[in-house]
Structure 1
Amino acid sequence: MRHRFRTSHPSKRSRSIFSFPSVIGYLATVLFFYIADGILAYGLPVVTQELGVSLMTVGIILGMSSLTGLLSDLIFPDLFPTKSFRFYVRMGTIFGLVTAFSLFGIPHSLTILAIASLLWGVYFESSNFAHYNFISRVVEEKHRAATWGWLEVVKAIAYTAAPLLAIFLLKFHTRVPFVVVFGFFLLSFTVFELSKKWMQNTTKEKATEHKHTLKQELYVWRVLMRKVWHIYGFYLAIVLLDVSFWSVGILLSTELSKDASFGNLLLPAYIVPSLFVPMLIAKTAKRRWSKTKTAFISAGIGSGVLCLGFLFAGGWQLLLTTFIGSIFVSLALPEMNATFEELVEKLGLFGGDLIGLQRSANNLSWIIGPVCATAIATFIGTQNAMAVFASLLLAASIGATLVVPRFIRISQRSVL
């Protein structure tokens, strides 16, 4: 009966992040925000292609979003060094609303679509800055990893639902999806405003300890690249595959839907595994290999399955191979993020520079990816173009397995 008299210490108990209204409110905000973004991402290449332009022009329009995204990554820290997540959420909402309005309130032309794509890059990067700011200021350190994990789950849910919703809305009119996007941005901001009273800072403001010019930043990136070029290239290949799905993959989906209604499920078949696979593995799997080796092997298997599917399968077989291949590919990204996180810790003050270098892979992929994917699709077709990007990841996986050491030797001293 001793348990009846045990002294409890509530303050020391491990609390779920869902016991914090601030986190729940922010995740709800993010859910509606990314549903809006997913619908826009699906609809933009479709309405661009309806103008009768070439596939490569579609890719150029999509790639323009990352030009402003990359520019935002470079100038936001200097322009808004003390702004909080509230500022970035509001700025992201404003740019999101303007983007949506430009796509339903103004007649479509290449100029308007290009402007919309440029605005898209700004609001998307604003959301990323908001995430980092919110988690670092509002969430206690011991809950930050879990919050990041649930943030990815919420994004995956949004990006699974958004294409299905976009497909349904496009049946009415090409402008209807963007009206709904406008509504979801408003809903997201409303949820944020209603829940922001719980979002109080838990950490004190810290003075910036590590400032340098753009020239110095590029120098640090060059030094870091010598150490991590192999995993950077592998990570770039993963993101390029993702870009191909969100550019040429959408066009392939519309082509498949003309022969069978389930052709519209190509993108959901790719996204759904990211909802459950990382969490399932984290809870049940015993680690036999290092994080990097796990990423390389799983990505190699997944990209191999995808490559075979895009080359030889069709109809429901293509959906099945896409789903199976994506299960393995979805294992690789969390492992790579964990690898980069460990390296960030080793780098100390220069950890932020490695984060910037990793983020540059995302922006670089979205600048060159849509253009390359649509250019390739122009010559060999959309499905074969997808096979090319799957093959690229397969080659990167094999190469990384051969050249990446078990332990990457990197430290703050190695950068100085």
Structure 2
Amino acid sequence: MRYSLSKTLYRSPIGAVYFFAVPIAVFHLVDSLMSYIFPIIVEESVFSNFTLGLIMGFSSLVGLFCDISFPQLIRNLTWKSKLIFGILISFLFPLLTALGRYYSLGESSILPVLLFLAASASWGVYFELVSFSKREFIVKEDKVHQYSKDWGIMYMVSEFAIIFGPIIGGLLIKLSIFQSALITVLIQIIGLSLAVAVIATLDKNEGLKIKSREKYYFNLSSELKYWLHFLRKLNTLIVASITLVFVESAFWTIGGLLGLELFGENSYIDWIVILVYSVPIILGGIIVSKLGIKTGKKRLYLTSMLLGGIFLASLLFTKDKYSVLLVVFLSSLSLSFAWPLSEAVFSDLLERLNGSKQHLIGLNLSTGSLAYILGPIIVGFLSDKVGYLSTLGIVGIIVCTVAFILMFVTPNKLQLPQKNIELLENNSSK
């Protein structure tokens, strides 16, 4: 009975997305929990927002290397293998963070930084593995190409889990570092178990097998050639994606610290800024999934960014803590349409490609990695100089400017360099 129900659910495109989103939701719950805890622990251990930015940016530097190398090194792995390996590697993040905090209480000043860098590196690797898995799943398993609905659902379910991360993190931060690490690992075990169960249920004689026995090796020059061909046609979309993720990186870098500043270290609602930022993304996901937008996605995407940037820029003139929360909510609500629509645009492009899907996924994910490399460093530097609120206001001005320019220069129809990509594919297979 259970197997029959699962197969019926799988055959429905939207049902399959919900099914896949269950372990993904747990994954994002833990990731958001650690995203909240990690900068607070690091800042308390190294006493510098700039050093904090460098350590957090390192995860994205590692992530960028993964974006460049994974399309060649792990192209034979299925989305199922990437999901499992990503979750397994994620266990290192809370464990290394706990060790870093423990040794920071002693006399050593180098060892804690090295452990935090190792934790940050594991963050970059596991997040990219799961991100590759999600994008491959959407394009491969949705046979009717309802990508706006798919990503609307994915963001709705994931963000619903993400909003509980800062709440749980705010409670765990009050415990000892090893107690909080143990609870985090237990949640991760639940997520891993759910992922295995979903894979076993959706298995269509594929499982964790590799796609082929052909061996692939990493060639930086070859991968950059793919990216350059894509960039010539998709440069405006890439700039928009980097800018959008830059906003997210700003909130996840200093949002928890801003909550502490607004409501005090003894408050149990210091996670409120992250919560208010995350909740509207659920609403945007619901609306996009219901509308099933098929045309005009890029224009709506950029309009959403422009409005969100305007609201965010107004934080330069907002001082009352409750007014700050309202502005953050309105900004995130405006931006909430951009997230699923951005992914839907990339999924449309992926559907038009053949063997080069992995390379475009890597380029897509590299926008997030670049934003998380530059974002924490820029935000950490600015917050040391002008404070957390003014920093978010400056981020808003940047978003407004970029979105406004892109609205005039982005083409209505994005063309792919199909012939050049096919030539590269043929050369690489020789």
**What TM-score do you get using the length of structure 2 for normalisation?**
0.82
Inter-CA distance 178–12: structure 2 relative to 1 (3 Å threshold): closer
Match of 2:279 among 272, 279, 283: 272
Query: Hey, what's the Cα distance between the residues in 2 that align with 1:372 and 1:359?
Result: 20
| 1:197 Cα offset (Å) | 2.5
Taking only aligned residues, the RMSD between alpha carbons, in angstroms, comes to 3.3
Supply the distance in 2 between the matched residues of 1:19 and 1:72 (Cα, whole angstroms). 30
| Counterpart in the other structure of 1:222 | 228
Provide Cα deviations, 1:75-105, integer angstroms capped at 9, x if missing partner: 3344434333443334223322222222335
Q: Secondary structure at the match of 1:65?
A: helix
- Please show how residues 246-395 of structure 1 align to structure 2 within 5 Å: 246-258=252-264, 262-283=269-290, 290-346=296-352, 349-395=355-401
Q: Give the Å deviation of 1:262.
A: 4.7
Q: Is the 8 A contact 1:47 1:174 kept in 2?
A: no
Q: Does 1:142 align with 2:144?
A: yes
**Residue pair 1:66, 1:364 contacting (<8 A) in 2 also:** yes
Tell me if structure 2 keeps the 8 A contact 1:303–1:325: yes
The Cα offsets for residues 280-310 of structure 1, whole Å up to 9 and x where unpaired, read as 24535989x8222212222111110111034
Answer yes or no: is the 8 Å Cα contact 2:42–2:116 preserved in 1.
yes
Q: Deviations over 1:235-292 (max 9, x none)?
A: 21111011001102222122112187655311111111111223224535989x8222
1:396 matched to 2:405? The reply is: no
Between 373-382 and 227-236, report the one with greater CA deviation: 227-236
Tell me if structure 1 keeps the 8 A contact 2:135–2:361.
no
Which residue in 2 is equivalent to 1:37? 31
Quick check: 1:300–1:393 contact (8 Å CA) kept in 2? yes
Segment of structure 1 superposing worse, 320-329 or 213-222: 213-222
Q: How far apart in 1 are the matches of 2:419 and 2:326?
A: 48
Residue equivalent to 2:55: 61
What is the CA distance between 1:174 and its match in structure 2? Answer: 4.3
Q: What are the Cα deviations for residues 324-348 of structure 1, in whole angstroms up to 9, with x where unaligned?
A: 1111111122223233333444555
Q: 1:279 to 1:24 in 2, by over 3 A?
A: closer
Paired position in structure 2 for 1:87:
81
Q: Distance in 2 between matches of 1:343 and 1:355?
A: 10
Classify 1:122/1:13 alpha carbon distance in 2 versus 1 (closer, same or farther; 3 Å). closer
Of stretches 365-374 and 199-208 in structure 1, the one that deviates more from structure 2 is: 199-208
- CA 1:211–1:91 in structure 2 vs 1: closer, same or farther (change >3 Å)? closer
1:95 and 1:389, CA in 2 relative to 1: closer, same or farther beyond 3 A? same
In structure 1, the gaps of 5 or more residues are 1-10
Cα deviations by residue, 1:147-193 (Å, 9 ceiling, x for unpaired): 54433222211211101111122123344432221111111112233
Q: Which runs of 5+ in 2 are unaligned?
A: 1-6, 104-111, 424-430
Distance 1:375 1:13 in 2: 49
Q: How many residues align?
A: 402
- Contact residue 103 and residue 175 of structure 1 kept, 8 A: no
Does the 8 Å CA contact 1:310/1:318 hold for their aligned counterparts?
no
Aligned residues of 1:349 and 1:412 also touching (Cα < 8 A): no
Q: Distance in 2 between matches of 1:150 and 1:44?
A: 28
Report the CA distance shift for 1:102/1:303 in structure 2 as closer, same or farther (over 3 A): same
Q: 1:349 to 1:52 in 2, by over 3 A?
A: closer
Alignment of 1:148-297 (within 5 A): 148-201=151-204, 213-258=219-264, 262-283=269-290, 290-297=296-303
Q: 1:125 is aligned with what amino acid?
A: E
Contact 2:170 2:270 (C-alpha < 8 Å) held by counterparts: no
- C-alpha distance 336-352 of structure 1, shift in aligned 2 (>3 A): same
1:129 pairs with 2:123: no
- The one-letter amino acid of 1:186's match is I
Tell me the SS of whatever aligns to 2:91: helix
The answer to whether the 8 Å contact 1:25/1:192 transfers is: no
* Deviations, residues 333-391 of structure 1 (Å, cap 9, x unaligned): 22232333334445555454333222111111111111111011111111111111111
Q: What percent of counterpart residues are identical?
A: 23
Answer yes or no: is the 8 Å Cα contact 2:152–2:288 preserved in 1. Answer: no
